[in-house]
Amino acid sequence: MNQGDDRGSLEGPPASMMPSATPAGSKRPPPPPPPGGQPAPTTASTASQFDLNQPTIISLLYLSSFVFGVTSIVGVVLAYVWKSEPKEEWEVSHYQYLINTFWIGLVGSFISVLLMLVLVGFLLIIGVAVLVAVRCVFSLINAQKREPMPNPGTLLA
C-alpha cells in the first residue's frame, strides 16, 4: 500500500471521516460565543438538579391545591407524619412552617368566604392565596438549599 491511500489502514478511520474534516470547498463558521462571555456547562455534573426532599414535596402539594383542591390536605397529613419521624436538622423548621401555612390558608379562606357577603371577602381571599403561595415558594427555596426556615412561627412570609 502506498502512503496516500487510507483504505486498508487499520490505524483508525480515514482523515475524511474525522469530525474536524470538512468537505473540500466548504467552510463551516465557528460556533458563536455564548451570551455573557461565559462558557456553557458541558457535563451533567455541573447542571443544578432539583432536590425532591420531604419539605419540597409538601410545598408542591400545597401549590398544586390551587388547581386540584384537595392536595393541601394530603400535604398537611404528610407534614404531621414526617414531623414525628427522625430527620435532618434543617427540616424541623420547615415542617412547622408548612403546618402553619396550611392553617393560615384554611382559616383565612373560611373568613374570606364569610366576608364575601359584604364583598370584602373577594379581596381577602386573593390576599390569602398570595400569602400561601409566597410562603410555599419561600419554603421551596430554602428546602432546595437545605437551609432551615428563618422564623417558622411567623404569620407573614
Query: Is 150 part of any domain?
Result: no
Query: Is 68 part of any domain?
Result: yes
Neighbours of 127 (CB within 10 A): 11
Query: Is 67 part of any domain?
Result: yes
- Cα 79 from Cα 99, distance rounded (Å): 7
Backbone dihedral region for residue 119 (phi beyond 0: left; psi -120 to 50: alpha; all else: beta): left
**pTM flag (> 0.85):** no
Residues 6 or more apart in contact with residue 82 via CB below 8 angstroms? 54, 58, 91, 95
- Cα 51 from Cα 71, distance rounded (Å): 20
Query: Is 151 part of any domain?
Result: no
Query: Is 5 part of any domain?
Result: no
Query: Is 25 part of any domain?
Result: no
Cell of 64: 398544586
Number of domains in the chain: 1
Query: Is 32 part of any domain?
Result: no
Query: 121 is in which domain, residue-wise?
Result: 54-145
Of how many residues is the chain composed? 157
Q: pLDDT tens digits for the chain (157 residues)?
A: 555 555 555 676 666 666 655 555 556 565 565 565 555 554 444 456 888 899 999 999 999 999 998 999 999 999 999 999 888 889 999 999 999 999 999 999 999 999 999 999 999 999 999 999 999 999 999 999 999 999 888 887 7
Query: Is 45 part of any domain?
Result: no
